[in-house]
Amino acid sequence: MKAFITGVDGQDGSFLAEFLLDKGYEVCGLIRKGVNPSLNIEHLKDKVKMYYGDMATENQLCVAVNQLKPDEIYNLAGQSDVATSFDIPEYTGDVTGLGVTRLLEAIRVFSPNSKLYQASSSEMFGNANPPQSETTPFRARSPYGAAKIYAHNMAVCYREAYNLFACCGILFNHESERRGLNFVTRKITNAVARIYLKKQDTLELGNLDARRDWGYAPDYVRAMWLMLQQGEPDDYVVGTGKSHTVKEFVEAAFSYVGLKWEDHVKINPKFVRPSDVNYLLAAPNKVGRHLGWEPEVGFEVLVQKMVDYDIKQESA
């Protein structure tokens, strides 16, 4: 089996590459031209064949898909930072939204038998009433969420119009030690590590009341793979079915190292988004029933894993 992963050097891409290699796949990945691969895949550089390209350029996608004709394609590329999408909405729409149309066209023309996993997002739900399932209306509150809705709908369109095997995984927040420092969870755990090691004293955050359904990224890449092993393509909500506030994440991280978060956290209005999603909570009944998937790592262990990693990194 041959798999092609766009965004292979990101959090999800690197875990997925490891997962597929363990299953005996030949794994190829797409990395943006002119960008050095992240440390996430440094240990895989001799095991994964790299293609340099961009979701903004159809020709590069066509060349890769035509040369590889992979059994499975996992589209994990895109501008994935919600806060940043307010600063660069046009770029976010081009890469995260239109980029999927470019990939779908490459598959339709050059490799119509390839199975596609499209990374959809819980941010598409916006402030729709929780819990959110596959039938919940989309109400995006960010350029990122809006771009993901377009991409999701195009994947469904190509599935129905051209009979492509295209699955959309509507993944709720999933974190890990490989999460970028621009994401709030990693910002928190990194700051906790530095405060614990007395390298800094305060952590500035925005909205502590936002609620998210947080899971562990390696559990979620297993769900991606399971979707493409089914007889028919479909869309699935993937999450834990449990929600926590940003404040609860902060409390868990600080208490793990014996500190009181109130002594170190300050609210800074500059970190509050123009519009935010208040409450995301997955209803993962379908993915459990149809794919037999359930998360293995809970919220507390997730937070502890991330704090332990950052303490180790900051102590080096």
- The structural domains of the chain, with segments of one domain joined by +, span 2-174+215-238, 181-213+243-280+298-315
Residues 214 and 240 sit within 8 Å (Cβ to Cβ): yes
Backbone angles phi, psi at 126, to 5 degrees: 55, -125
For the annotated catalytic residues, the residue numbers are 121, 123, 144
Please say if the pLDDT value at position 146 is more than 80. Answer: yes
Predicted confidence at residue 275, as pLDDT, reads 83
Which CATH superfamily hosts domain 181-213+243-280+298-315?
Answer: UDP-galactose 4-epimerase, domain 1 (3.90.25.10)
Give the Cβ contact number of residue 123 at 10 Å. 25
Helices (H), 112-177: 143-162
3-state secondary structure (DSSP) of residue 31: strand
Predicted confidence at residue 47, as pLDDT, reads 97
pLDDT above 90 as % of the chain: 91
d(CA 61, CA 86): 27
> In which element (H, E) is residue 52 found?
strand 48-53
DSSP one-letter code for 267? E
Predicted confidence at residue 38, as pLDDT, reads 74
Residue 35: band (very low, low, confident or very high) from pLDDT cuts 50, 70, 90 = low
Q: Write out pLDDT tens, residues 192-243.
A: 999 999 999 999 999 999 999 999 999 999 999 999 999 999 999 999 999 9
Which of 60 and 202 is assigned the larger pLDDT?
Answer: 202
Backbone angles phi, psi at 241, to 5 degrees: 80, 15
pTM, whole model, 2 decimals?
0.96
Is there a common fold for 2-174+215-238 and 181-213+243-280+298-315?
Answer: no
Question: Which of 4, 102, 115 is closest to 59 using CA atoms?
Answer: 102
d(CA 4, CA 75): 8
Q: Write out pLDDT tens, residues 260-300.
A: 999 999 999 988 888 889 999 999 999 999 999 999 999 99
Q: In whole numbers, what is the pLDDT of the chain averaged over residues?
A: 96
Query: For 262-284, b where at least 16 C-beta lie within 10 A, e where not — what string?
Result: eebbeeeeeeeeeebbebbbbbb
d(CA 201, CA 179): 22
Pairing, β 203-205 against β 48-53: unpaired
CATH of the domain spanning 2-174+215-238: 3.40.50.720
Q: Which amino acid is at 137?
A: P
Predicted confidence at residue 181, as pLDDT, reads 92
Predicted confidence at residue 274, as pLDDT, reads 84
- What share of residues in the chain are helix, strand, coil (percent, to 5)? 45, 20, 35
Residues 45 and 19 sit within 8 Å (Cβ to Cβ): no
DSSP conformation letters of 224-244: HHHHTTSSS--EEEE--S--E
How many DSSP H helices and E strands does the chain contain?
11, 13
Predicted confidence at residue 250, as pLDDT, reads 98
User: How buried is residue 80: exposed, middle or buried, by Cβ count under 10 Å (0-12/13-18/19+)?
Assistant: buried
